[in-house]
Amino acid sequence: MIEKQDQETNWENFVKLLLSRLDIPTKQDINFLHVRLDKLEQLLYQKQPVAKREKTQPTIRRKSASSIVLDVIANHPEGTDFKTIKAATGFDDKKLRNIIFRLDKIERIKRVTRGIYKKV
């Protein structure tokens, strides 16, 4: 009888391993997604009247973090360093590094030297 329980346990572990490696969703995963979708729909329905009011009133658009950093860099035509950008924006190091990386990748800024950035 003990051998049978060990075989069932091994079989159950094998099935769980197979499902996880093949990224096959379980019933539990699908139920979790349904609950999250229901919550998201409820939030959308609650926010819908506010969106209608915004159409009648002029909306104020905030600048994206990337555009704020780009403006700070543009204000220094010879280039500016990381500390100056951080002081002007108030963003934390990681956020600022990610923004600078993206701006460099899409070629909006140029790295003059290490830590010195200039608008293209």
pLDDT over 70, % of the chain: 82
Q: Could you report the per-residue pLDDT of 63-89, keeping only the tens digit for each?
A: 899 999 999 999 999 999 999 999 999
Q: How many CA atoms lie within 13 A of 84 on its CB side?
A: 14
How much is the CA Rg of the chain, to the nearest whole Å?
26
What Å distances lie between residue 100 and 44, 91, 95, CA to CA? 33, 12, 9
Query: Which pLDDT belongs to residue 48?
Result: 59
Query: Which pLDDT belongs to residue 83?
Result: 94
Query: Which pLDDT belongs to residue 58?
Result: 66
Instruction: Return per-residue pLDDT of the chain as tens, 120 residues.
Output: 455 555 556 888 888 888 889 888 888 888 898 889 888 888 887 765 554 555 566 677 888 999 999 999 999 999 999 999 999 999 999 999 999 999 999 999 999 999 899 999
Domains and CATH numbers, the chain: 2-47 (no CATH), 65-119 (1.10.10.10)
